[in-house]
Structure formats: structure tokens, C-alpha cells
Structure 1
Amino acid sequence: MKVVIFGAGLIGKKRGLQLAPHELVGIFDPDQARAKALAAELKTKAFDNEAAALGAPSDVAIVAVTNNALTPVSVKALEAGRHVLVEKPAALSLAELSLLEAASRRTGRAVKVGFNHRFHPSLLKARELVDSGRMGPLMFLRARYGHGGRLGMEKEWRFDPKLGGGGELIDQGVHLLDLIHWFFGPLPLQSSLVRTNFWPAEVDDNAVLTCAAEEGEQWATFHVSCSEWKNTFSLELYGRTGKILVTGLGGSYGKETLTYYQMQPEMGPPPFETFEFEGADRSWELDLKNLVDHVEKKTPLLGDLASARYCLEQVTAAYRANGYLNLPCNA
């Protein structure tokens, strides 16, 4: 398929580097110098304006812009006849997300949300173990995800409420909410603690959320932080007959591993098996492949607008409950 990328930042670059076997038609970014630099690296063209990018012959638009522009650019791409892969959280508010949902229905074009963590090998393996029945009925999930930030981060767009829509919760937090949705379905928010502990900013840098079924025993809890001085990813998934522990995402988050513990009828220390995943992060490539397969073969989307809506519902509820009323989700 032919692809156009909107946004020449870090994520746009990651997407562009993992496009094969598809053709990159070109890149647009309002920062022309940045667009031209990335276009040169990826051996493609930089469009002079958004209209030219929208008018270029292509099948898919990858929208990797600041959060406040995700929905507006995606709607324009849909109306131009493109299928869309839009970065999370896809919108700044539930009202804005409704516009994106309506545009997808109106145009008959698919929208894939960039929840690329589903395509990390450890999490694909976790899904395989759950689907095989080796975990038994799922009971709960416990996760931690965080990074230590960088000097001057409070001045970046992600910490500007008008551009980012929030802080750590709407950034890394939505990845964990999406994984909860993937394994358990739409568990509603039960409690939340959202704080600005370290960074001098109007948005949050730490959040702890617990989601739980209104009926039954399933629940999930997580802590996300950008004052986590050692980059961390840890996810534990508990079933009645087994446990999964995922650690690391590669790179600065450490080697990606999954350990499966098989509960025994007599209880006691369980036997376990550890899987290690080496090599480059291919989640961006597989994320796009999922959209292409959906378009060409009608296979299900893994990370769609329904999951984006679930994530934004919990984020909005948590921000309101903790007094972050200046954010776009509360407009």
C-alpha cells in the first residue's frame, strides 16, 4: 500500500523506518526543516503543505502529530479517502473522539489506533497463553510503567495541556488501559490517584488507577510515572491456574521477557518457563500490518476506536476526580 505520514517527530520516524513492504509517498510536518530532514533520511519527499499531502495518491495516512491535532488531521485524511493509523490517544476528549468515529462511519474507511504495545512479542505470547486456556479464568492484572524524563521536559508539548491533553496518564497510562481492555474488556474505573509530584507543570506526572468489574471478581491496577528514575515496564497477569510476568520492552526498559508460572493442584512453588525476546522492536511494523490485513482480509483490528473510547473514559474520570479540571477532556 501507499502511505503518507503526518508528523516528522520521534514517532513519525519510528513509523517510517518500519513501513516495508509498503511505499512511503511522502511526509508532512508544519516544521518544514524537520519534515525535509526526515524525508531525506527515509528517501521520500516532504510536502510543502497539508493539502498537498492529503491530495497525494495513497491508501493509508499515518497520523503522528501532537495530541491536539490527532483528530482534526485524521478526519481530513478519512474525508480524502484514506484509511488511518492514528497515534494514541486518538483524541483529547470523548466529544472529539465522537467526531472521529462519525467520520470513519461516514467515509467507510478504517481507523486503527496506535496501541503498538499489543504487538510486542511478550504481550503477544501472553495473549497466546491466555487464549490456550493455560491460565484458567483471569482474575486480575497488576502493572508498572514509567520513565525518568529528561531535563526541560516540563517545557515540551506533552506537558502543555492544550497540546498534550494531560500528562503521564494520557501518555503511558493509555497503553496500560488498552492492555486491560484487551485482556479483560471494559473494566470501569473504581479508584484513582493522580498527582504532580516532581515536574513543575500543570499536568500530572504520576497516576495510580484501579479498574474493576461491577459484577464478578476481575480487576486491574497500575502505576504510571515520569519520575521513575529507572525506566520500567512490568505487567503481571493472574489466572486461576497460572501467572504471567512480563518485564522490559527492550532498549532502555531492559530485555523483554515473559515468565509463565503453572499453578499446581497441591499449591506450593509453581514450576515456571521463561521466554526471552531479542532483536529490534517490530511492534510498529506489526501495528501497521494489522491495519493492512483488516483492510485487505477483513481480519479484526487490534487496538481500535472502541479501545480508544474506553481509555479516554477512564482518563477523563480520573482527571475529574483528582481536580485536573483545566484539561481539554473536561471542556
Structure 2
Amino acid sequence: MNKLKVGIAGYGIVGKRRHQYIDQHPSLQVSAVCDQTFPQGHTLPGLQCFRSYKELLQCDLDVLFVCLTNNIAAEVTMAGLNKGLHVFCEKPPGMDVEDIRNVIAVEQQHPELKLKYGFNHRYHDSVRETLRIIKSGELGEIINLRGVYGKSRVIPFSGGWRSKRELAGGGILLDQGIHMVDLMRLFCGEFREVKSFISNDFWKHDVEDNAYAIMKDERGRVAMLNSTATQWQHKFNLEISLTQGYIELHGILSGSKSYGEEKIVVGRRDEDSDNGQMESRTIKFLQDNSWRDEINEFADAIVAGKPIVSGTSKDALETMVLVYKIYYNDPVWRERYNINNPEI
């Protein structure tokens, strides 16, 4: 079988990493890339190189990967679908909820095409094992969740666009905290009631550097979240209390390796214990196969005509709605940035 020809729009750190794993799949081959930072006449071995996505889309392609800034992610995703391409888009799906709703309207016009969003945390082995335990019922039902996902700045070493509202749409919550929001949805379902405080008091950018949220789901279960750019030692931590025990996710394997080792601690409630101590076990995960597995699922869905399992446009919409509920439910932040009710 001939390999599917892949174009990558946006060839920065994420685009290059996607390229590495795309070419590892037997059915995919990157043939063209674009990036606005390419100098005129830029060349790469075996690749067509362009400076704009519009030039890229003139190529003979089957699949498009969108690894661009938030302000044009939805625009390029829709352009790819309208060109008859299967599309994989990095999170977030756009600047706001309206962006992803517009994408879904175009997606519905092309039911033969696959659209997937890059929520790669779902593919980490610690998350998969946690989801397995929860679904098995061996520790009972979820009572509550507490999560912290933080790093030490809004602007990463790769560039400063994430601090500019006109390019990013939001700050640390939309950029990184969206992963924690998505995982809480994965484990619990949809959250209907949200209380929040949003702040940019430390870094003083035009986007948030801290988001604090308390959310209640349809069954009355509560999740607490802090998405922060003032966590001087990078942290990923999610604690899940269940009726018969607990699961704690600590660390996440990443390219920067700054979030510590990836592990989960699983404990079972001891009804005879008066001091809350119980037997627990720790499981460590030494490899990050999330990027590979996420791309493999996308490619296999295209080749075999299977539905997208995780990272669907519905997932992207519901996660964006919840992110914007957090923004909206801080009245000061809502008024300052004229944020609309995401459910309307």
C-alpha cells in the first residue's frame, strides 16, 4: 500500500516531534512542511518547504497536521478539511469555543474524513492505568479529585507568543491546564457547576498566570484545580479519592523531563484503621509512548475506516467549554476580557 502523504503546518518543537513519530508509522510519510520562520528558499532533505499553510495546501497531500498558534489553528483545520484532507490538530482547538464549533460545522460536511485533536496526556501509561482501575470498579466510585499542573512561567523557551492574547486567546489554563481539565472530564464526565478565580498578578501578561477552579459534575462529585505559571518547581499531580481507596498521579514524562518521574500510588481503604493509614503500592512508568500511540490511533482510524476513539471534536468542544466556564465564572476576569457564556 502506498503511504499516505502528510503535511505539517507549523514546524517548531511540536511539529518536529510529530514528524518523528509520523514517519515511524508504516502508513504515513511526511512530504511537506511549512513555517513562517523559514528563510526564503529554505530546504530540508526529502521535504517540500513553504512559509505559509496556503502554499502547503497546494501540495498533493492526504493528511494535515496542524501545529500552529491558537489564533489560526481552527482556520487551518477547516481549510484542510475543505481540501479533502484528514486532519490532526494540536490542542487547544482554537482561541475560544466559537472556533471549535465552527470547525465541527465544517467537519459535518465531510463525514468521510477523520479529525483528531492532540490531547496526548490521555495516552500516558499512568493515565491509562488509572482509567482502567476506575472503570474496573475495584476501588469503588470517585468521590472527588484535586489537581495541580504548573510551571514557572507563561512564556516557554520556544517563544513568547503564548503571552499575547491576540495569538493565544488565554494563558496557562488554555495552554497547559487544558490537559488537566481534559483528564478530569475523562475520569468523571461533564462538570456542570463551576466557581473560579483567575489572576495575572505576578507575570503581568495580558493572559492568566493562575487559574483556581472548583467544579461539580452531574453526580455531585467535586474537582479542584490549580493551573499555574508560578510553580517554581514544575509539577503534575492529580489525586483521586474513591469510596474504597485512592489513586495519586505524580509526575508526567515530557520532553523537558522537568515534571519528575511518572508514577501512580494506589491505596485501598482499610475499614479497621482508625488513623487513616492503609496499604498502598507504587507503579512507575519509564517510557513516554503517548506521542507514538496517539498518532498510531489516528493513522489506524484512517487506514481501517475506524472512528476516532479519543481526542474527537466532541472531546475538544466539551473541554474548551469547561475551560471557558472557568474563565467566565470569575466575574472580574469575565468583564475585563468580555468573555461570553460558553454554553450559549
The reply on whether 1:312 has 2:312 as its aligned counterpart is no
Identity %: 27
- Alignment-derived partner of residue 257 in structure 1: 263
- Alignment-derived partner of residue 208 in structure 1: 212
- Alignment-derived partner of residue 3 in structure 1: 6
Q: Deviations over 1:48-94 (max 9, x none)?
A: 54234213233321101000011000000001111111111102122
SS of residue matched to 2:7: strand
Decide which of 71, 76, 79 is 2:74's aligned counterpart: 71
In structure 1, give the amino acid aligned to 2:121.
Answer: H
The reply on whether 1:28 has 2:34 as its aligned counterpart is yes
In structure 1, give the amino acid aligned to 2:285.
Answer: F
- After TM superposition, give the deviation of residue 218 of structure 1 in Å: 1.4
Structure 1 245/34 Cα, relative in aligned 2: closer, same or farther at 3 Å?
A: farther
Decide which of 183, 188, 207 is 2:187's aligned counterpart: 183
Decide which of 290, 298, 305 is 1:291's aligned counterpart: 298
Structure 2: distance between partners of 1:204 and 1:157:
14
Q: CA RMSD in A?
A: 2.4
Contact 2:152–2:233 at 8 Å: present in 1 too? Answer: yes
- After TM superposition, give the deviation of residue 182 of structure 1 in Å: 0.8
More helix by share: 1
- After TM superposition, give the deviation of residue 176 of structure 1 in Å: 1.0
- Alignment-derived partner of residue 12 in structure 1: 15
The reply on whether 1:83 has 2:90 as its aligned counterpart is no
SS of residue matched to 1:211: strand
Contact 1:259–1:272 at 8 Å: present in 2 too? Answer: yes
- After TM superposition, give the deviation of residue 326 of structure 1 in Å: 5.7
TM-score, normalisation: structure 2? 0.87
- Alignment-derived partner of residue 271 in structure 1: 279
- After TM superposition, give the deviation of residue 264 of structure 1 in Å: 3.0
Unaligned runs of 5+ in 2: none
- Alignment-derived partner of residue 94 in structure 1: 97
In structure 2, give the amino acid aligned to 1:93.
Answer: D
Task: Give the number of aligned pairs.
Answer: 325
Structure 2: distance between partners of 1:150 and 1:311:
21
Contact 1:248–1:256 at 8 Å: present in 2 too? Answer: yes
Structure 1 150/320 Cα, relative in aligned 2: closer, same or farther at 3 Å?
A: closer
Matches within 5 A, 1:92-171: 92-108=95-111, 109-149=113-153, 156-171=160-175
